Structure 1
Amino acid sequence: MFKAAIRVNKMTTIAQLRGASLHAQRHDETGKARVREDAEPGFGLAWSKAEDDRDYLAAFKAHKAELGAGERKGSPLCLQAICVLSPEWVQKAGNLHDPENPHNRQLFDQAKAWAESWGGKGSVIATRLDLDEKGGAVVDVMVSPVRESRGKPVISTNKALQELKQDTGERNEYSALQTSWADWCREHLDAEIVRGTRKEITQRQHLSPETYGAVMDKARSDLRRPVESVREALQGSELSWNDTDLLRDYLLLRGEISRHRDDPRGYTPPEGDLDREGVEIYTDLESNTWKLITAFRKGAESVVTAAYRFGMGWDRLKEQDGHEAGRAWFPALADRLHLGAVIAKCGDFCAEAEAFVKNLRIENPESHLSSRILWPLGSQELVERYDRHLGLSAPQHIRPVHQERIPEVQKARDVESPQQRSRHRGDDYGL
C-alpha cells in the first residue's frame, strides 16, 4: 500500500514567485543545502510556460498573456501544490533519482494533469520533479486557475478551490485537495495508493518558496508511522537531572519554533521579568543597570543561551550555513530556519534591550548607544538574513548597507512621552 499527500502554499506576491524561481534554480542557500553531494544542482524533470522551465515569474507573465487574465488586488497569484507519493512506489520501477524511471515520468505528468482537472485547462504554469535531493517522489506544481468575472478572465484560486470542495464533499478546500490527489493517483497511477493521514493542510501564507523543501519533508513524514505522544514518551523514560535540564532547553526552543512558524512577522521573544514600562519605572529605584537589563531581556537571553547546547551558538549561527549545525536535534530544514530566525531576533532584542536601559540613564540623546555595538554583534544583519530565507523581507538591496537602523524603542521615545506609552503595545522592538 502506498500513500499520497498534498501540501499547499499560496503565492500572493511577485517577490514570492521570484524567490521560488531562485530556489528552483538552486541559487538560494536553502536550495543549495538540499542538493545531494553526488548530484548536479537542478537535475530533474521540469516544464513551464516560459523559456526557462525554472523561471516561475516569467511563466506567470506568459500565463497571463496567453489567457488575457487579470488579477484581483490582494488575491493569490497562484498555488504552489506539492504533490507527494510514497517513494517506494517510484522505486518499484527503478532508481528513485533516475529521470528514465517510468514511475518518475508518470508521476510528473499526472501531477500536472491532476492540477488542470480542477484548475482548468492551461491553469498549470510550471511543474518540477527534483532528482538532485536525497528524497524523491515529490512534484512541485504551480497552478493559476482562471475564471470569468463580469465577462472577463480573472485569476481566481479561491473560486477553483471552492469548486473542488463542493465536488469532493470535504469540509474545507485543503482536505478537498488531499482527497482529490489521492483519488487521482489511485485511478491513474496505482490502485494500491491511498489517501495520507487526514490532517489539516498548512494554510500559512507566510511560508515562502525558499522553505518549501521543508514542507516536503513534513509531507513525507505524514506517510510514515504516527508519532508517539510526548506524554507517553516521557512517562516511559528514566530522566537524570542533566537529561531533564537538556530537555527543558530543547522544549523551550521547540516552543519558540512553533510560535515563530505560526506568526513569523509578529514574533516577539519570550518575556522577561520586566517589560519596557517596568524598566522605566524602576530606573530611578534600581541603581544597578545590569539588574534591569537582565530582568528585561531574560526571556530572549534564555533562548540564545539554550541554542549553544544544540550546536547553534551565536558565532556558529552567524556563519552562512550556521543553521546546519543543529541538524542532529532539528532534522527538518524548516525547523532549523525558523529556529535561526528565533535566535537572531532574540539576540537582536538583547542588544536593543541593553541599549534601551543604558540610554535611559544618558540625558544627552547625542550620546545614546547604538545596539549595533552591543552583544551579540551582528544581530540585525542575522535577522535580515533569516527573514530573507523565510521570504519575510524585501531583497537586501532595498536598504543601503550603510544605512543605520534606528531601534523602534528609540523612535518611540522621540515621539511619545512615558505617560503616553501603553504596556499593551506589541511593537516595542519591531520584532
Structure 2
Amino acid sequence: MGTFKIEGGHKLKGSIQPQGAKNEALQILCAVLLTPELNTINNIPDIVDVNKLIGLLKKLGVKVEKIGKGSYTFQADDVNLEYLESDQFKIDGRGLRGSIMIVGPLLARFGKGYIPKPGGDKIGRRRLDTHFEGLIKLGAKFGYSKEEQFYGVEAEKLKGTYMLLEEASVTGTANILMAAVLAEGQTTIYNAACEPYLQQLCKMLNRMGAKISGIGSNMLVIDGVENLGGTEHTMLPDMIEIGSWIGLAAMTKSELTITNVSWSDLGVIPNVFRKLGITVEKQGDNIHIPAHTDGYEIQSFIDGSILTISDAPWPGFTPDLLSIILVVATQARGSVLIHQKMFESRLFFVDKLIDMGAKIILCDPHRATVIGHDFKSTLKATTMTSPDIRAGVSLLIAALSAKGTSTIQNIEQIDRGYENIDERLRAIGAHIERI
C-alpha cells in the first residue's frame, strides 16, 4: 500500500493543466467496441481506472496502440467473446466500476453482453437497474446469477422504443445510448443525463455515423443505423480536477493558474466556489486564482439563512466536488451546510478532518455543517487513509494546508483518478513525497 508524506503550510505558485476527463474516458473507450474500424482517441488520462479499462479491452481482443502521450488507436475487428464467459473476466470486470459500460456496445453489435458486479469507490449503493431496465426495453433478455453476482443480457436484434429513465444516470444513459445507436428503428430516452461528457459521447457517435438528436438536453432521440465507422476524438479537461485545483489554491492561499479548462463546459462549478468567497477569474480559457491572503467569506442566502450546497444531476453541481467544497469551507469565514444527496457513505471521511481540528457537525449520512476557522486556527497534521478518490484528494488538500507533516495511506485510491498527482504538485511548489 502506497503512502504520501506531505509537509503542509507552504504556498504554491505557477500553472497546472488538468488531465483528460476520467468520466468521459470510461464512456468513450467502451464506444470503440461498436465498430470494427479504427478509432483514435486523444487526451486519455494516464490513471489506474482508465488503464484497467484499456487492459480489459485488450483481453477482449481489441487492438490497442499508443501513438503518443495520451493518444491511442483502438480497433475492435476481432473481439474475443469467449473471454466474456471466462473466470478471468469475472475477476477483471469486478475491479472497475466503468466496466459496466461495455455491456451496451457488446449487446448492440454481438447480441450479448455480460459483466460481473463492478467494484469502484465505497461511497454507497450505486444501482445498476437503470442500465438493465433500459436494455430490456430495447428487447434484451436479462439474466443474473446471484451466487456469482454475474449479469447478462442477450438479444437477436434490438428494437427502438420510448423510455423514461427512473434516474438521470450518466453511465446508465451512456450504456443505453450505445445500444440504441445500432437498434432497429427510433429510440427516445427521456430523463437522460445531459452532462458535457455524455454530450461528447453523442458527438463522437454521430461522427461514427450514428443519428442522435437532442444532444445537451434530457431527451435524446436516436434513429438506429446498420453499422458505425471509425473516428478521431479528443477528451475534455477533467472538471473534477479543475475544481480540486481551485480548492487547493484557496486553502493554501496560493496564486495558481489552471490552463485550458474549457470554460463553456464547467457549468455552475466556478460560481459555487465564488459562493464560498473564492475569487475565480476567467483569463481566456484559463482560470486564475489570486492568493487569498485575507481569506474568503461564505455568502448567505438573500434572506440571511445559512448557505446550502448540494449535488444534483447536470446542470446542477457535480457530487464529485462536494468533498472538495467541504474541505475548503473548513478555513472560510462563516458556515455552510453540505448536502450530499446521491451517496450515503461519501461524507464519512469528515472524521479525519475533525481529527485535524476542523469544526464539522455530521448531521446524518447525507448532511454536514461546516463552521469555518477563517485561518485563525490551522488544521493540524495527522496520519490518515484515503477511502475513495475524491475524499482522498480532499484529505490531500487539507494536508497541504495543515501545519506539520501528514501521511496519507491507501493512495492507490487517489491514483485511480489523478494522473501523476505528486509530480504535478511538486512542480508548483508542494512538499509531497511518494513512499
Which band: TM-score by shorter chain? under 0.3
Per chain length, whose mean CA-contact separation is higher, i.e. which structure has more relative contact order (CA < 8 Å, sep 6+)?
Answer: 2
TM-score when normalising by structure 1: 0.28
- Which protein shows a greater Rg? 1
Q: Which structure has greater strand proportion?
A: 2
TM-score when normalising by structure 2: 0.28
